Amino acid sequence: MIKKIPYAGHYPSAAGALMREGICTKPRQIEKSFKWANGLDIIYTLKGLTPANFRRYSDILLLLAYQEAMRYNHIRWKFAGFDVRLGRLSKSKDLPEIATFQAAMHDEPNILVYGPDYEVPQRHFLYHKVEDILDITKRYSGRVSKQNPFKVLRLFISIREPI
């Protein structure tokens, strides 16, 4: 099992800022066990993250993901993502109610969130996922409500230590 690092009332600065704004609640740290690894998922439940608010707070959310991944930087693998409730129209039942926009695994928190300093063709870093979420209205044009196209529900940061 991965040993949980308690917050002891000291949350990452980005979490503090979001909590003060009423955007997120205190995080939960959930231990997990997989065939290949021991795991820990840190979950921030988000509030009021409509498209406009998500755009406004996206930089702080990215910073939060980075800060949380850094807390467990001694553990090899990390990935992160957002759960998003899509404002599906009645004719778009094929779209999932909750869509996950998940960055790929990396061992360096900075790259996991912001990508490397040089150009790569991949679009699997967390900042790309933020772009994808903000693009929902265009990508699912006519399939999600114009009024409430999406709401970002959760930020999760997953830590994995191979067995």
Partner 1 sequence: MGIPVFDIEAVGWVHPIAIGFYNGFIYKEFIRESEQDDVLWRFLSYLKENYQGIKLYAHCASKFDNKLVLASLYQHGEIAIPEAGLIKLRWKEPKIYFEDSYLLLPMSLKKINNMFGVEEKKEWPHGENLNPWEMGERLGSFREYLKTDCLSLSHSLDKLCESLGFNFGIMPSITLSTTSVKAFDRCFYDVERIEANEEYEEFIREATYGGRNEVYKRYGEKINLYDVNSMYVSCYDTPVPIGKMRWIKGDLDRGTLAEAFVKVPKDFFIGPLPYRSRGLLFFPVGEFQGWWDVKELRYAVELGCDVTIKRQLCSDEEPILEAFGTFVTSLRQKGYKELWKLFGLSLSGKFGQSRWRDNVKYVGDIGNFKGYAPLDKDELYFQRKEYIEGRAPYIKPAVSMSIRAEARVRHLKILLEASKEGEIFYGDTDSVFTTNTLPTGGNPGELTYLGKAERGYFIRQKLYSLIQDGRMRQKSAGYSDLKLSEEDFKSLLTGKNLEQEIEELSTYKGIFKEKDLNLIERSRSLKGNMGNSRISIGFDTEPICLPVP
The site for partner 1 (CB under 8 A) is made up of: 34-37, 39, 77, 79, 90-94, 102-107, 121-124, 138, 142, 160, 162
Cβ closer to partner 1: 6 or 121? Answer: 121
Closest CB 74 distance from partner 1, rounded Å: 16
Q: Do residues 60 and 40 touch, judged by C-beta distance below 8 A?
A: no
Closest CB 104 distance from partner 1, rounded Å: 5
3-state secondary structure of 118: coil
Radius of gyration from C-alpha coordinates of the chain? 16
Query: If you ran DSSP here, which 8-state letter would residue 151 be given?
Result: E
Which residue type, as a one-letter code, is found at position 89? L
Closest CB 91 distance from partner 1, rounded Å: 3
| Number of helices followed by number of strands (H, E) in the chain | 5, 5
Cβ closer to partner 1: 15 or 40? Answer: 40
Cβ closer to partner 1: 119 or 147? Answer: 119
